[in-house]
Structure 1
Amino acid sequence: MLDSLEVVTTVVVGLMVGVEFAVAFVMGPVLNALPEDSAQLGHAHGGRMLGTVMPFWYIGSLVLVGIWAGAGWHHHGAGLVVTAGGLLLLSVVMSVLLLVPINNRNRTWTPENRPADWKQQLRRWERLHYVRVVILIGAFALLTIAL
């Protein structure tokens, strides 16, 4: 049972890391290369779509890691799993405090109502997102090593 939990958790977290990596290093550059209105509309749509799914994925991943840490407390790699959980918790806190407020504004913008500093706000979100991706990669690496 613990083996299955470990594999499922690692796959769920790994897929989340892959999505967030793709947002940072594939979708962001693609959207930023579009003409201004299209880029902004694409960012807003992505913010609405992923902003709906990702909270469940982040919390679900954190819960799975917590269950793994509890169930495997006396097994090899428990410290790595706990540390990975700490990194995931950090990514959730960082998301709620820093990234979600920007995303919540961005998801409602249109070319007609966007603020004058919309590009600066998106660049700030992107910089914070890069940090979050590094944190998530660290958590995923620790889970993989713990396997």
Structure 2
Amino acid sequence: MLGALEVVTIVVVGVMVGVEFSVAFVMNRIFSGLPDDSNQAARSHGGRMLGALMPFWYVGSLVLSAVWAIAGWHQPGAGLVVIAAALLIVSVVMSLLLLVPINNRGKTWTPESRPTDWKEQMNHWDRFHYVRVAVIIGAFALLAAALG
């Protein structure tokens, strides 16, 4: 049973890392190459769509990691799983304190209603997101290493 939990956790966290990496290094760069109205509309739509999904994914990844840490407490690699879960906690806290407030504003903007500093706000979001991506990549790597 622990083996199945390990695989499910790594797959769920790994896919989350892939989505967030893609947002950071592919999608937002594509959006930035569009005219301002299209760029802002794409980011707003993405913020609404992913903003509805990602809380469950982040919390689900954290819960799976915590269950793995508890269930495999006496297994080799348990310390790595605990550190990975701690990194996932950091990612959730970062999301709530830094990214969600910007996302909540941005997802309501239209070309007619966006503030004049919308690009600056999106750049702040991007920088915070790069750090969050690094944190969840670290968690993913630790979970993978815990299997070894």
TM-score, with structure 1 as normaliser: 1.00
Partner of 1:28: 28
1:91-106 matched pairs, under 5 angstroms: 91-106=91-106
**AA of the residue aligned to 2:35:** P
CA apart distance, 1:32: 0.5
**AA of the residue aligned to 1:17:** V
CA apart distance, 1:47: 0.2
Q: Spell out, residue by residue over 1:64-84, the C-alpha distance to the aligned partner (whole angstroms, 9 max, x if none).
A: 000000000000000000000
Structure 2 residue 145 is matched with structure 1 residue 114: no
Partner of 2:11: 11
TM-score, with structure 2 as normaliser: 0.99
Q: What SS is found at the alignment partner of 1:25? A: helix
Partner of 2:38: 38
Partner of 1:48: 48
CA apart distance, 1:7: 0.4
Partner of 1:125: 125
Q: CA RMSD in A?
A: 0.3
**AA of the residue aligned to 1:15:** V
**AA of the residue aligned to 1:130:** Y
CA apart distance, 1:91: 0.2
CA apart distance, 1:48: 0.2
**AA of the residue aligned to 2:144:** T
**AA of the residue aligned to 2:22:** A
Identity, in percent, stands at 68
**AA of the residue aligned to 1:47:** G
CA–CA separation in structure 2 for the residues paired with 1:28 and 1:139: 23
Provide structure 2 residue ranges, at least 5 long, that are not aligned to the other structure: none
CA apart distance, 1:51: 0.1
CA apart distance, 1:111: 0.6
CA–CA separation in structure 2 for the residues paired with 1:58 and 1:144: 17
Q: What SS is found at the alignment partner of 1:123? A: helix
